[in-house]
Amino acid sequence: MIREFSSVDLIFIAMAIRWTLILSVIAFIGGAVGGLALALSRTAHSRALRWLSMSFIQVFQGTPLLMQLFLVYFGLAVLGLPIDPLVAAAVALTLHASAFLGEIWRGAIQAVPQGQSEAATALALSYRDRMRHVVLPQAMRVATAPTVGFLVQLIKGTSLASIIGFTELTRAGQIVNNATFQPFLVFGTVAVLYFILCWPLSLLARRMEARMRLAVTR
Amino acid sequence: MTEHAITMRAVNKYYGAFHALVDIDLTVERGERVVICGPSGSGKSTLIRTINQLEAIQSGQIVVDGIALSGGDNVAKVRQEVGMVFQSFNLFPHMTVLENCMLAPMKSRKIPRAEAKATARQYLDRVKIPEQADKYPAQLSGGQQQRVAIARALCMKPRIMLFDEPTSALDPEMVKEVLDTMIDLAREGMTMLCVTHEMEFARAVADRVIFMDKGVIVEENPPEAFFGNPQNERLQNFLGQIA
């Protein structure tokens, strides 16, 4: 039975934003932890650590996010765990975000001049203190803009979770469209909502980039 | 005082196939001021960087302040006793001058903040820039930055100071203020190893001058003999070029 697109549908779609946001936040926090571990491993002394972290990054950057979602989703079943679309999507997006943030932050760490960590080493600072007080604060300045940029990609990437049946923004749109069959109106609304989420972040990233350039040339 | 400040025995260092340090034997006494010079690529910087193990060695033995440089714990101990000043200053740009001087004493020596601050002010005073304490490194001139770097190293109360071409990156008019700071330090009896081409400095404070070429210590003598009566032909050429 086909009915008209109404304010009830609009509210249904808008409410689904919270799942898009929850998924984005989980993936971003998980990705930040994983990404930091990967970035430190990529710049570590140990060859084994460097190799392992690089392989992880290559695999997750070299395969489609959708395949990663499928593999985690059906992988849970293979392992005998209950299939939960939210868990599967959160795990897959966390792994995906870890790989990309790891690579962004590796570059930022390597952008800090070698002399900085040498001076810290000569001052008898431990690896931990060197990273925490000298290298990472400087790397963070370089990394902030591309990190916010990636967050935008991640928010849009959560739309793929709709395919494994997780009702976030995109899937809510699909459900409403099945009932109303007004795809242009429905998905137009969905797109506008994504844009409202992402556009301010894009602006922020651009502002940060400009400020970064200023700081470098100062 | 039976112990030497630094003892190096048969030290060899390779970068891949390149033999950077060749059978280095060197003893530095406590309170001694040693200047190392030589053409670029001669291994002089590499040599002092092995003393706090910024560079690992492939064979030989290094003992610093009675501590053998082997194993992780010892390396950390040696680094606490050995301060280093770099050609490019390497101040931490995101910290104020004062914070630069306080970080290592607080984190590595576990000294309370208030005491670290007092020590930092004391050494900034000694290198004659107490008024710059709250500025960031980028706001200072090169000479001032290098003096901060010296103060930062001194805040760890090291027993030995290493200088790796400390004036090479400076504009000519700033060389003197840094050299004066180093001369003061030498007069106070600090054990110093200094890679530099400032022969005036060598004449003024060095107990011994070492000439290196191709990873080998070619000649070492007190300054009078070193400059007055150089034996080795390569040293004669070198002195001819820089004079």
CA A129/CA A127 separation, integer angstroms: 6
CA B143/CA A125 separation, integer angstroms: 25
Helix %, strand %, coil % of chain A (to 5): 85, 0, 15
Q: Which two tokens stand for residue A202?
A: 């894009």
Total domains in the fold of chain A:
1
**What pLDDT shows up at residue B241?**
85
- Mutation for testing the B interface, residue in A45, A117, A123, A130 having most B CBs under 10 Å: A123
- Mutation for testing the A interface, residue in B87, B94, B145 having most A CBs under 10 Å: B94
Tell me which residues of chain A, numbers 95 to 114, contact chain B at a CB-CB cutoff of 8 Å: 113
pTM, two decimal places? 0.89
Distance from CA of A151 to the nearest CA of B (A): 26
Residues in chain A with CB shorter than 8 Å from the CB of B76 are 124, 126
**What pLDDT shows up at residue B73?**
80
**What pLDDT shows up at residue B243?**
64
Q: In this predicted model, what pLDDT tens digit does every residue of B149-158 receive, in sequence order?
A: 999 999 999 9
- Mutation for testing the A interface, residue in B101, B107, B136, B162 having most A CBs under 10 Å: B107
CA A201/CA A207 separation, integer angstroms: 10
> A201 near A148, Cβ under 8 Å?
yes
Which residue is closest to B102 within chain A, CA to CA? A123
Question: How is the beta sheet containing B208-213 ordered, strand by strand?
Answer: B82-85, B160-164, B191-195, B33-37, B208-213, B216-221
Whether chain B has a CB inside 8 Å of the CB on A215: the answer is no
> B101 near B151, Cβ under 8 Å?
yes
CA A35/CA B125 separation, integer angstroms: 43
> A115 near B86, Cβ under 8 Å?
yes
Q: Which two tokens stand for residue B40?
A: 């670029």
CA A149/CA A83 separation, integer angstroms: 31
> B21 near B50, Cβ under 8 Å?
yes
> A57 near A102, Cβ under 8 Å?
yes
Across the interface, whether the CB atoms of A134 and B92 are under 8 A apart is answered yes
Whether chain B has a CB inside 8 Å of the CB on A80: the answer is no
Which residue segment(s) compose the domain that A25 sits in?
7-217
Here the CATH number for the domain that contains residue A24 is 1.10.3720.10
Kindly state whether residue A2 falls inside one of the protein's structural domains.
Answer: no
Collect the ranges in chain B with pLDDT lower than 50.
1
> A98 near A35, Cβ under 8 Å?
yes
What Cα–Cα distance (Å) separates residue A213 from each residue in A140, B112, B234? Answer: 14, 37, 48
In terms of Cα–Cα distance, which of B230, B236, B234, B210 is closest to B43?
B210
**What pLDDT shows up at residue A215?**
64
> B51 near B14, Cβ under 8 Å?
no
Whether chain B has a CB inside 8 Å of the CB on A79: the answer is no
Which run of H or of E encompasses B27? strand B18-28
Q: Any idea where the domains of chain B sit in the sequence?
A: 6-241
Q: Residue A218 — very low, low, confident or very high, per pLDDT cuts 50/70/90? A: very low
Specify whether the backbone of A141 is left (phi greater than 0), alpha (psi in -120 to 50) or beta.
alpha
For B180-226, the DSSP string reads HHHHHHHHTT-EEEEE---HHHHHHH-SEEEEEETTEEEEEE-HHHH
* Residue type for position A147: T
Half-sphere exposure of A3 (CA within 13 A, CB side): 8
Kindly state whether residue A94 falls inside one of the protein's structural domains.
Answer: yes
**What pLDDT shows up at residue A3?**
84
Residue range A143-154: average pLDDT?
95
Which residue's entry shows tokens 């960590």?
A: A117
**What pLDDT shows up at residue A77?**
84
* Residue type for position B97: V
Note every long-range contact of B74-78, with CB atoms under 8 Å and residues 24 or more positions apart, other chains counting. B76/A124, B76/A126, B76/B108, B78/B51, B78/B52, B78/B53
Q: In this predicted model, what pLDDT tens digit does every residue of A40-97 receive, in sequence order?
A: 999 999 999 999 999 999 999 999 999 999 999 998 888 888 888 999 999 999 999 9
**What pLDDT shows up at residue A211?**
83
3-state class (DSSP) for residue B231: coil
Q: What is the CATH number of domain B6-241?
A: 3.40.50.300
**What pLDDT shows up at residue A1?**
63
